[in-house]
Structures are given as C-alpha cells and as structure tokens.
A and B are shown apart, each in its own frame.
Chain A
C-alpha cells in the first residue's frame, strides 16, 4: 500500500497545474468574499480578481522554458500551454476591467460574476495544458459550465436567457460528440493520452484507414469546431454573442476560442498528425466556409454586437487556415493571432461596453452616428481596433494574418491564402461601415450617458498598446510563439 501511494505521489506534480490551481483557489476565496460583501458592492471583488490574475501570471511565467509534467502525463505546463495561458489571462483581465461599471449600469452587480470568469479562465488553462483527452475534456467542461452561467447572467432579460439556454443546449450536444469521439479513439488505440495516440498511430499505420479512427477523428473535431464557432457549427454564436452581457461576449470571443484552438491543435498535430491527409482537406473546406459565411453574413448586420459575432466566426476561419497549413509558421501564426485577436476584439468590445445605454438597445450602426466627434478618444480607439480586425498595417491584425497566410503559402495552399485575403477584402466593407457611421454622419445624439471609468479605460489602453506593439514590433512575441511549438 505504501509503495502504491508513493508511486502515485511521484506522479503528482503540482507545479504542472500551478497557474490554474492558484486561479481556482483565488476564485473560491472570492466566492466567499462575495458572500460576505454587501449586496451591490462588487468593485473590490473586481480588483481582487485582477490581483488573482496577476499572481497567476507570475506562476504561469514560471512555466516558460521550464516544462512541468504531472499526474501521470495528463498535464503538461510546457511553453505551448504557457503561451496560451497568457492569452487567457489577458482575455480574462481585460474582460474583468471593463465589467464593473457595466454590471452596475445594467442592474446586475453580482459578486459571483468575477469568480466565474476566473473559473472559466482556469478551465481554459486546463485545456491548453491537458495532454490527455480526459483532462482536456475536464477543462472544457469547467470552462463551458462557467460560460453557460455567465451568458445567462441577466436573468430577467429574455435575450440573456435565450443566450444561456441556447449555449447550454448546443454546448451539451457538442460535448456529446466530443465524448463519443474520445471513446472511439480510445477504442482504436487503447489510450487517451494524446502523445501515446500519436505514437500508436505511427507504429500501426494500418489503423489509420480504419473507419472507427476516421469516425473518432470526425466526432472529436466536431466537438472542437463547435467551440471554435466554425461553420457549419456556428449557428449558436450570433444569438449567444448578441444576448450575453457584452463583457461576457468579449471574453467568449477570445478566451474560450483560443482554448479550443489550443486543445484542437495539440490533439490534431500531436495525436492525429498521421491523419493529416484526412483532416487537412476537410479543414481546408471548413476554413473557406467559415471565413466566407462569417464575412458575408456580417455585411447584413445592423447590430454591432451581432456583426462582431459574425466577424468572430470569420476570424476563426482565418486561424483554421494555420491548422490546415500545419507547419511551424502556420501554427505559431495561430498562437500569435489568438493573442492579437484578444487585444483587438476586446478593445472593440470595451468601446461597446462604454458606449451602451442601459439596456444596450443603442448598439446599432445608427446609434453610432457621429460617435467619433462626440467621444474622440473612444472613436479613435474603435477605429484602431477595427483597422486591426481588417488586417491593415501597422496593427496586430495585419501581422497575425500575414503569418498565418505565409504558413499556408509555404505549405503550398496558395488558393487557400488567396481565398483568405479575398475574404479580408469582403470584411473591409462591414468594418468600414462602422467608421462611416462614427465619422461620416452627423451626430444625432450627444452621448452624454457615456461615462468613462477607470477599469474600462485601462482595458482599452492595454488593448491599444497590444495592437500597436504586436503590429509594429512583433518580433519578440513571434519568437515566443515559435518557441511555444511543441
């Protein structure tokens, strides 16, 4: 018995899960703080969550170039996980910064909101550092359950209810697919460890053509493609993004998407790399479909939140291009792009959070008429975020797209790159249209309700610094993304 316990403890390495562990502990403490706080007083919880993220950032930083493995190979805190961890931390941090005044304005100053964001971030970290299908699945569930609650947070609002319920139902459904896929892969290879699956498939090439392997791969991919919001599994995204509280939407479009990409990349490249001939063409097609659907439908939107939801779908399509390329540049391009996207999308959402009236019915194109003149700083910030989303230099969005498409071209997928840039051209139209309303129309209102608060301003400034830093001097971060490759 003693020997068994010793063996078990040898395998336990808390350093491998330290970032998410710290974050979870903070989350639980903050839950208690929320219980003992006066109703409606949440500001201190928000700032404490920021402290939690900063402390977690320190522990996440310890994992860089210092890979930790633990729990019998179920978890790895390698450079790959660490790079993504920072993306999640930025996503969580920017979200929390913009949330406090927003929640009060909308009449839901709920203390539990912040721990939930922390739990979601911790779940995302587990997905990125999971090296076993089961740990990845656990991470996905932790992340998703927190998000289901967050999406439906405004419990007296029909829109928010719809978002929560829809996300939950479809999410549960897709989780089913994912589990079924895991089961099949396990059935074929006899293991759920990603690296072992890869080894098994390379040493048993005959299994590659087995229908069960293919079916497992397809089901597994379906689960992740749903989370990423790739067409044709994107149907939930617009409704959920539009209905959820705006900061939650901002978080959902960046953090969980990056997490799903992280786990998807690890599984596809490390585990199912031998099946590239199968999933390559499939993802090629889905990348094209996702980009096109996202961009074309976004043109028809008049609600900016919904437009950004479709734009987020199309950005998932751009990132898929990197997976299809499956070479170093394409993959590290995705790592970089997810970070860049976090900054540019959360920046745009921070402006929306600030510009909204109570009830947020004014976040339409018409509602933004002349916004740039009445609120010059917010207008310029929005314009910069939109230019970055378009992919124009010298912003982070351009560099990200440049790397991903370079990867595709290097791997010989020239048409995919051409379709990608043509899609960017389509996207110009709807991003420009926001600017048309902000600057080329006369102000219809005075936007007196826009109260700039400290948190959201910090969040916006951080986003802008990120956009320009990654856009003008991308070298250092890109170097990190390169080191993050396993």
Chain B
C-alpha cells in the first residue's frame, strides 16, 4: 500500500475523470457528489503522509517510486520518479485538502456543463499533485504544462465577463515562461550526461543537484527557470495575468489558483532553480529580492485602491507571495521555513477569502465594495468567519499569517537582505490597511442597501466548507511546530547544499584567469 501511495494519490483523480465520463450529463448532484467523494478519498489516502514521523528526522525523499518510462537507446531516458520530502509534504497535503473544499464551493455556483467542470477539476488535481511529487525534471515539466489546460477551460467557460481575455492571457503568460524553461532543462540534461551521469537516471534532479555548472552558464539557465517560476508566483512585473485570471475565474478556480497553483512557482524556486544554480542564485539575489519587495508594496497599494473585492484579494496575493519569495531568498532556516509555511498560510487564508467572495457573489451577483455595508448585522456567522480570515491574512498574532510573516522577516533581517526586510515590513502595515478598510466598508456601517437587508446567513454547507480552514488558521497560528519539525531536516539540507556548492564554486574560481572573475 505505502509503496504506491504517491501514485495512487496522484492518479486517483484521473481515474475519477474516466468514470465521470460515463455518468449522465444532467444529474448535477451525482456528478458533484462523485467528484467530492473522489477528492475526499484522495485526501484520506494522503493523510498517512501527515502522520509519518520520518520527516522529522530524515531529509531524504520518502515514499519514492521509480520506473523506467521512455527510453530511446542512448539518447534519452525519462523515468517515472516520484517522492516526497519535507519541502513538498505540506504542499501536497494542502492540495489534497483544498480540493474537496473547492468541489463543495461549486454546489450552487456551477450550473452549466457540470460534467466538464468536475472532470477538469479532477484532471487539475492530478496535474498539481504530479508536479509536487516529481523528482524527474521531464516528468515535472509534463505535469507543469498539463496544469494549464484544465485551468484555461475553467476560466474560459465558467468565468466572468472578461473570461476569454483572462483565460488566453493566463495561458500564454505561463506557457511562454515554461517553454524557455524547457530549453534550459534539455541543456542541463546534456550537461549532466557530459559530466558522466548514468543515462538511466534520466532527468533525475538528485543527479542534477550534484552538477557543478560553470557560473556564467548558470546565469542563463537560472534566468530561464526563474523567469518561468516568476510568472507563476507571480512576481512583479510579470504578475499582470493574475488579477485578470483571479477576477474572472469561477470561485473554485480562484481558490485552486490562489491556494495551490501559485505555490508551483515558489516551490519551483525552492526545489529547482535555487539548488540547481546556487551561484546564479547568489548573483540574482539582490535583483529578485528587489522585485519581491516591490511586489509586496505594489501589490498592497494597488489592492488598497480596488473597488472590487475579488480584485483586492487578487492583488493581495501578489503582496503575500512577495513575502514568500523574500523568505526563500533569505536562504536561512528561519526565512525558508517562514516562506514555506507562508505558502501554506496563503493557500488557506486567500483560498478562504476567495470562498468568502464567492459566498457574497452568489447572493448578490456583484462584488463591488460600495454595494455592501453593514452586512455584519444581517449575517453574523459570516461576519465572524470573515473577520478571522481577515486577521489571518493580515498576520495577527495567534493566526497562521503571523507565524509565516514573522519568520520571513526574522530570516530576512538575519541575512544580507536586511534592508529589503525593512521595506517589506511596511507591507504588513499596508495589508492591515487594505484588508481592514475593505472589511469595514463591507461588513460595518449602516445596512442601507435594501438588497442587502434580505441576505441570508451562511448555510450549513458553507460553514462546513469554512470550518476546516479556520481550524488550520489557529492550528498553525498556535502550534506551528507540528508543521516546522517535519520540514526542517529537508530545509537544512537544502541550505547546506546551496551554501556548500557556492563555497566550492568560490574555491574553484581562485585559479581562474583574472578576466573570468568579474569582481
């Protein structure tokens, strides 16, 4: 059972798609119910990962599976090579955890072509899980690209008014970056073959980690990887697809996009770009950190000016992901752990915010802030939940957001990025401003608009959706160690690896002729 746990978890949703195709098209309840069951089973299958204590002590890949997939004589070898370590552990669990919630959120929201919607959601889950567990760059690329197709249709078919523009923009932005990454992947592969990596290891990242690529080559390769991941994160200034995609996507699409897909970018940095090209990382660090900080402040400022709640949340994502990137770039244990936990936090709180936006949109069919006001009196349960999530998003102590942002800033202060941290801190304050201001305008004040006076409070289904998220808001906020202790060994190994390779590279650089050394 455990030896194929990852494959089972990854491909179960795909199997679900196959069954779904034979279901009657117009039985909405059956389609949604079946999809919910599939995602729940996937979640249950993934649960043993959370309770496995091996992650506390070992930085190695666990649950690994290996099989030769494509072999072409002495040209290429691609392998099915998957596994989980402390870095991907919580992201995988986040994915399996968010999916049932996303499915539940469609209960009332999706009414046309339900079958297609559910099939795409399940396909998307397989692609996302596959990308998180891949230990072979070729396999990773397949899943990475595969993610685009379902999301493209989710936005394009079930999206809002500008859905076509948003869907095409989303697709092209992400694909451009990943195509350049493909060239870099092939190039690294040949470097590895030249360096004597056995052919049947395929595109194994474990082997690629051991390469010492010439620093000037690293620059180009890192740029290709980093560009691709930066689009997905998204980092300023390639973030422009995100507000469109988020705003136009249906609620379930926004939740998945925010909670899981954006993490692909940050995960890509941690898993691939940084450990593969440590010297280039060092060189690009000031530049990328600057972009991260610009993202934090710019995202916050733009979020402040939005009239549309969903757009506001979308821009707040740009800001939050800036924090994640800053933590990752700090390259110390606090920063990295903060960045990783902040990925999960953002998944939970922003996912929840999109759900909340979905709730009021389903009731009023508008998301304009000025249409609301005083909802707290009419919808007390909703108000409570919304407030908790708002606090979590701001990073109030006691909630998950605080743990993540605090560690990111501590990490950044402790590293060379001290001054970046100073500016980034203002993002925390700005977050409080835009979130609380929005919350005040929507929830408090007089209940003037007659359309709002008849609103119903959250239904049982909606509360059920939100409760698990609230549990994690406080759990991570109060007892984060449960989460940290399982990722720390892997993160420490990562830092060791990166720092170690940088030093080796520096030592190697000494006998080089003067013109090679730019400093």
Contact of A409 among B70, B73, B187 (CB under 8 A): B187
A418 to B180, CA, bound (A): 7
Is B190 at the interface (CB under 8 A from chain A)? yes
Contact of A428 among B70, B71, B175 (CB under 8 A): B175
Is A393 at the interface (CB under 8 A from chain B)? yes
**Least Cβ–Cβ distance between B42 and chain A, in angstroms:** 21
Q: Is the CB of B75 within 8 A of A329?
A: yes
Q: Is the CB of A410 within 8 A of B167?
A: no
Chain B interface residue count: which class? Answer: 20 to 34
Q: Is the CB of B180 within 8 A of A392?
A: no
Is A421 at the interface (CB under 8 A from chain B)? yes
Q: Is the CB of B149 within 8 A of A387?
A: yes
- Which chain A residues border B168 with CB–CB below 8 Å? 429, 432-433, 436
A479 to B76, CA, bound (A): 10
A433 to B113, CA, bound (A): 20
Q: Is the CB of B183 within 8 A of A440?
A: no
Instruction: Bits for A9-39, please: 1 = Cβ < 8 Å to B, else 0.
Output: 0000000000000000000000000000000
Q: Is the CB of A425 within 8 A of B172?
A: yes
Q: Is the CB of B179 within 8 A of A422?
A: yes
Q: Is the CB of B71 within 8 A of A475?
A: yes
Q: Is the CB of A439 within 8 A of B142?
A: no
Q: Residue on A with the closest CB to B141?
A: A393
A100 to B171, CA, bound (A): 38
Is A251 at the interface (CB under 8 A from chain B)? no
Is A478 at the interface (CB under 8 A from chain B)? yes
Instruction: Bits for B72-96, please: 1 = Cβ < 8 Å to A, else 0.
Output: 1101100000000000000000000
A432 to B163, CA, bound (A): 14
A379-418 with Cβ < 8 A to chain B: 387, 392-394, 398, 402-403, 405-406, 409-410, 414, 417-418
- Which chain A residues border B73 with CB–CB below 8 Å? 479, 482
A188 to B416, CA, bound (A): 69
Is A297 at the interface (CB under 8 A from chain B)? no
B165-214 with Cβ < 8 A to chain A: 167-168, 171-172, 175-176, 179-180, 182-183, 186-187, 190
**Least Cβ–Cβ distance between B123 and chain A, in angstroms:** 12
Q: Is the CB of B186 within 8 A of A439?
A: no
Q: Is the CB of A479 within 8 A of B182?
A: no
- Which chain B residues border A417 with CB–CB below 8 Å? 183, 186
A46 to B477, CA, bound (A): 72
- A interface SS class: helix
Is B219 at the interface (CB under 8 A from chain A)? no
Q: Which of B167, B176, B179, B180 has the most CB of A within 10 A?
A: B179
Q: Is the CB of A425 within 8 A of B186?
A: no
Q: Residue on B with the closest CB to A328?
A: B75
Q: Residue on A with the closest CB to B158?
A: A440
Q: Is the CB of B72 within 8 A of A482?
A: yes
- Which chain A residues border B76 with CB–CB below 8 Å? 406
For this complex, 25 residue pairs linking A to B, each with C-beta atoms less than 8 Å apart, are: A329-B75, A392-B146, A392-B175, A393-B146, A402-B182, A403-B75, A406-B75, A409-B183, A418-B183, A421-B183, A422-B179, A422-B180, A425-B175, A428-B171, A428-B175, A432-B171, A436-B164, A436-B168, A439-B157, A440-B156, A440-B164, A475-B71, A478-B72, A479-B72, A482-B72
Q: Lowest 7 CB-CB distances: which A-B pairs, in order?
A: A421-B179, A393-B142, A425-B176, A475-B70, A478-B72, A440-B156, A409-B186
Given contacts A421-B179, A422-B179, A474-B70, 5 further A-B contacts (CB under 8 A): A405-B182, A406-B186, A422-B176, A425-B175, A475-B69
